[in-house]
Amino acid sequence: MTDVEKLSEILSHSSSTVFFGGAGMSTESGIPDFRSASGIYNQKLHKTFSPEEMASYNFFLRHTEDFFEFYRTRFVYLDAKPNAGHVALAELERRGILKAVVTQNIDGLHQQAGSKTVYELHGSIRRAACVKCSAQYNIDFVMKNVPVPHCERCGGIVKPDVVLYGEQLDDEVIANSIRAISDADTLIVGGTSLIVYPAAGLIDYFRGDNLILINKTATRADADAQLVIRDNIGVTLARAVELLA
């Protein structure tokens, strides 16, 4: 029996599967892995900043215009479409097998593919809000109002609803993610190195029977997994769903 056949067999007997995904889930849709980027030089600031520095709340406050220039070019990929993995997960949810997607990604592709229960640990590029009055805006408003989007109601800066370095994760999203993972009988972890905390620590709440890793490289959880697959997530998940009766 192949690894994909084993995965399909596990899914066929699961009544509560949760998928925990990272950047590798979106690279197959053409979205680059943010953490793999090299340092970025900004001539106006006369300093070399790493992507992590430019994606920080401190940089947003101190160099707001430069932050938005960086954000629009490195965070937002509006032409990206859901890949076979996103579609497969939506189908698993439709069949009642998958109960939730917990994602570190901010692209909204799971929802575009049809997934309903999605917990976005790091927020979403699709939403934005005024830092002063909390008025809600969408991605189009942020992209069109350059260099810095300002609230039409109060004039405050409209910040994308993404969790920047130096910001806390949303308590409700964390609680829902922990609940889903704790209640799952099968946890599929895909496309994540499991080195970005606190998000990566959430898989430690899993108490089910089947921990499955789908990742190109080794992770800290490999030794505890019932199944480790070194292949593309999209291809693997799509084939596993195809094999389901």
Which pLDDT does position 38 carry in this prediction?
Answer: 47
- CATH code at 3-31+81-122+168-243: 3.40.50.1220
Query: In the numeric block, which tokens belong to residue 132?
Result: 């002063």
178 and 204 in contact (C-beta within 8 Å)? no
The reported pLDDT for the residue numbered 12 is: 96
Smallest CA-to-CA distance from 49 within 81, 32, 12, 74 is with 74
If pLDDT is split at 50, 70 and 90, which confidence band does 156 have? very high
Q: Read off the pLDDT of residues 176-214 as tens digits, 9 standing for 90 and up.
A: 999 999 999 999 999 988 887 888 899 999 999 999 999
Residue 168 class from Cβ within 10 Å (0-12 exposed, 13-18 middle, 19+ buried)? exposed
Q: Which CATH class is domain 34-76+125-162?
A: alpha beta
- What pLDDT is recorded for position 51? 82
pLDDT of residue 41: 44
DSSP state of 103: E
Residue in this structure with the two tokens 């972890």, named with its chain if needed = 189
Concatenate the DSSP letters of all residues of 127-161 into one string. Answer: EEEETTT--EEEHHHHHHS-SS-B-TTT--BEEEE
Amino acid at 228: V
Q: Which of 63, 86, 122, 150 is catalytic?
A: 122
**Would you say 201 and 174 are in contact if contact means Cβ atoms under 8 Å apart?**
no
Q: Give residue 68's pLDDT band: very low, low, confident or very high (50, 70, 90).
A: very high
Domain ranges of the chain: 3-31+81-122+168-243, 34-76+125-162
Mean pLDDT, the chain, whole residue set: 92
What is the β-pairing status of strands 47-49 and 40-42? antiparallel
Instruction: Supply 160's token pair.
Output: 């994308």
Percent of the chain at pLDDT > 90 equals: 79
User: Between 36 and 209, where is the model more confident?
Assistant: 209
Residue 122 a catalytic site member: yes
Is the bond into 160 cis (omega within 30 degrees of 0)?
no
Task: Give 114-132 pLDDT, tens digit per residue.
Answer: 999 999 999 999 999 999 9
